Structures are given as structure tokens and as C-alpha cells.
Amino acid sequence: MKIYFAPLEGVTDEIYRRVHFECFGGPDKYFIPFISPTQHFTFSSREQKAMSPEENKGIPVVPQVLTKNPEHFCEMAARLKEFGYTEVNLNAGCPSGTVTAKGKGSGMLRDKCALRAFLDEVFLHCPLPVSVKTRIGFESADEWNELISIYKDYPFSDIILHMRTREEFYKGRPHIELVENAMDAFSCPVVYNGDVFYQEDAEDVSTRFPALSGLMLGRGLVANPAFARVLKGGKPATKEELKRFHDRLYRRYLEAWPKNAVIGHMCEIMVYMSCMYVNPHKLLKTLRKTKELAAYEDAAERIFTETPLRDDPGFDLMVLKK
Ligand SMILES: Cc1cc2nc3c(=O)[nH]c(=O)nc-3n(C[C@H](O)[C@H](O)[C@H](O)COP(=O)(O)O)c2cc1C
């Protein structure tokens, strides 16, 4: 079973991916959060860094493209091929209103004829193998069979399924039972994504659908950076490893970013990673109030040294609401 690191815009940037790869590894592929080509192919500095061959050297990364324009997609793929990438991923899942209003991301699922026309063009001209990360409908899961009948006509290198509709964003449980329809119809590798937070979630999905070629992990892997390694038979994270991971991340961000941005960003990552610890809430609260580097370092140190690790680490959605 392959394990992929999901793209998480604002979290799994090039610094995070490299430090994760160095300290834990485990994922067979790290997906780069979406790059959105414009008419003139000008990119934000985030996007330039994200796709830079230097920044990604030695790491098995897959760039993801967000567009509804097949020419832009293929032109982008040609550039990525020149950079040395060997696969390009289509984002057909982003639920954000500003994205879907332009017919991109999961907005592509609304107009099924346009989706087919897009894929026809892409598979005629794209110079790289194409994978897709898709939701199962725009408004309703009833759209899934029609989407399957479209996707099954194209030779995707992977079809990654996030089993929710756009309407559902990340709420409620994924429609896992509808994976069955996809397994029956698709001849290309199928990867499951969504709410795999504990080892037993991964076991449930893979036992239920043994023909899946892999699992894509997002929030569960940010919470427990050793999760992919564990699912591949490796050892769980130790306290020392988590501290080393944190310290290296923190140092690399400080080298690249302004100090205030680093504190905010590290707090965001620590909220996820707090799921590794028994009752970290008080210390986490202190950490999130810090404004100065010294105070941040002190509060982080206390989490790493004073809080015991949980026996059954896994992402808990409630931490994002606290
Ligand atoms: C903060 C955040 C940023 C995300 N950015 C992207 C993105 O750039 N591209 C994408 O395809 N999905 C993106 N996603 C969706 C995730 O890749 C993934 O599908 C989702 O988190 C569900 O998987 P999980 O339950 O394992 O976290 C994002 C999700 C979150 C929470």
C-alpha cells in the first residue's frame, strides 16, 4: 500500500516537506499544494518556491495544478517536465468559494461536459502522466456515478478520491461506501483520502477495499509526523524525534521568514502536533499567546519535556476548534 502526503496549502510548504523527509520520511510521494497558472504564467513567490527544483531536490514530490483551462494545464506540465518532474496532479477538489466560482477545483465537477472536454484536451497534449485528486460531486453524492463514467475513460496515473462533495467541505464523515463504485469502474490505481487519522482508520479502509493502491494522509500526518512511517511498519515517533523535528523546522523557517510569521506558523503546526501528547491544552494555550521568540521557545520546550506522549496518537478535529 502506497502512502502519499496530501497537499495542505499554508502547511506543507517546501520547508516543511524537506524537514519532514529528513526527520521521518515514510510517504512515497509528497504532493505540492496547488499552483494556479495565469494567462501570462506569472507566479507568486510562494508558487515559485513550491515548484523550484532546487527546493525539492531529492524528495519524491508531485506538483499540483489548479486550472480549468487545458492549455494552461499542458503548458504548466511542460514547464514542470523541464524542471524534472515526472507527474502532474490535477486539483478537482478545492472547495473554496473563490476557486469554485471560477469553475476551478471542485468547481470543475459542476459542468460534466466541460470536465470531459478539459480531460480530452489534456490527455491529447499533456507531456507528463496526469493524476487527479477529486471530490465525488459538487452538490450531491448522487453525482458520483456520472463522474466515474467520465474519469474511467482516461488513463490517469492515480485517481485520488476525497469522498466528500464540495457542499460538504470537510464536514461530516466521508462517503466511504461509494469507493466501491470506483473500484468496480476504474482500471487505474485508486488512492483513498479523507479522515484517516489513526492506524485503525487506515486498517479499516485497506481491509474494506484491498484493491486500493494507496492512502493519502493530510491532517493526520501533520499531527503525527511518524504516521506514514508507522503504516509502513516503522517505529512510532519518540519524544526526542518530535523535538528534533520541531527545532529543525523552527530554525529553517527563521532562516527564511520574518520572526512574527514564524511564531504564527509554528503555532499552527504545534496545534496539530499537540495530538501526540496527553493533555497538552494548557501549555498549548500559553504557546499560542507568545509574541517573542524566547517565550515561544520556552513554551514549546515545556510541551516537549513536560508532557507525556499518548499511546494511541492520532489527529483530533477538536484541537482546531479549541
Ligand atoms: C489547510 C488545508 C489546505 C489544503 N490545501 C490543499 C491543496 O493545496 N490542494 C489539495 O488538493 N487539497 C488541499 N487540501 C485538502 C487536503 O489535501 C486533504 O484532501 C484533506 O485535508 C482531507 O484529508 P485528511 O482528512 O487526511 O486531512 C487542504 C486541506 C487543508 C485542511
CATH number of the domain enclosing 220: 3.20.20.70
Asked which of 231, 252, 272 is the last residue of a domain, the reply is 231
How far, in Å, CA of 55 to CA of 14, rounded? 6
Question: How many Å apart are CA 239 and CA 319, to the nearest integer?
Answer: 20
Q: Give the distance (Å) from ligand 1 centre to CA of residue 10.
A: 10
Q: Whose CA is nearest to atom 31 of ligand 1?
A: 8
Same domain, 174 and 277: no
Q: For 161-171, what is each residue's pLDDT tens digit?
A: 999 999 999 99
Question: Average pLDDT in the 303-317 region?
Answer: 93
> Residue for cell digits 527545532?
247
% of the chain surpassing 90 pLDDT: 95
- Please give the average per-residue pLDDT across 95-111, as a whole number: 98
Tell whether 127 and 250 lie within a shared domain: no
Amino acid at residue number 89: N
Compute, in degrees rounded to 10, the torsion defined by CA atoms 103, 107, 112, 117: 40
pLDDT tens track for 198-253: 999 999 999 999 999 999 999 999 999 999 999 999 999 999 999 999 999 999 99
The predicted pLDDT at position 114 comes to: 98
Where among 213, 231, 249 does a domain terminate?
231
CA of residue 295 to ligand 1 center, whole Å: 31
Same domain, 70 and 149: yes
Q: Do 184 and 300 sit in the same domain of this protein?
A: no
Residues 114 and 257 in one domain: no
Contact between residue 307 and residue 273 where contact means Cβ atoms under 8 Å apart: no
Mutate to test the pocket of ligand 1, among 3, 5, 8 (most ligand atoms within 8 A of CB): 8
- Would 268 be classed as within a structural domain? yes
Shared domain for 244 and 101, answered yes or no, is: no
Residue 58 pLDDT > 90, yes or no?
yes
Domain match, 209 and 262 both: no
Q: Which helix (DSSP H) or strand (DSSP E) does residue 291 occupy?
A: none
263-309 tens-digit pLDDT: 999 999 999 999 999 999 999 999 999 999 999 999 999 999 999 99
Residue 318: is its pLDDT beyond 90?
A: no
Same domain, 301 and 177: no
Question: Is 266 found in the same domain as 135?
Answer: no
Both 192 and 97 in one domain: the answer is yes
Q: What's the pTM value of the predicted model, to 2 decimals?
A: 0.98
User: Nearest C-alpha to atom 14 of ligand 1 is from which residue?
Assistant: 8
**Range of 253's domain?**
239-306
End-of-domain residue from the set 181, 200, 231: 231
The reply to whether 321 falls in a domain is no
Query: Do the domain assignments include residue 319?
Result: no
- Residue 320 forms part of a structural domain: no
Q: How many domains does the chain have?
A: 2
| Within-domain flag for 109 | yes
Residue 272 φ/ψ, nearest 5 degrees: -60, -50
What is the residue-averaged pLDDT of the chain?
Answer: 96
Share of the chain above pLDDT 70, in %: 100
What pLDDT shows up at residue 322? 67
Q: Grid coordinates representing 89?
A: 496532479
Residue nearest to atom 29 of ligand 1 (CA): 8
Q: Is there a single domain that holds both residue 280 and residue 143?
A: no
Closest residue by CA, ligand 1 atom 30? 8
Pairing of strands 214-217, 190-193: parallel
pLDDT-wise least confident of 23-32, 40-49, 63-72, 93-102: 40-49
Asked if the structure places residue 215 within a domain, the reply is: yes
Q: Are 54 and 31 in contact (CB under 8 A)?
A: no
316 part of a folded domain: no
Instruction: Indicate the pLDDT class of residue 310, thresholds 50, 70 and 90.
Output: very high
Tell me which residue of 172, 183, 69 sits closest to 126, measured CA to CA: 69
Residues 210 and 69 in one domain: yes
Domain annotation covers residue 313: no
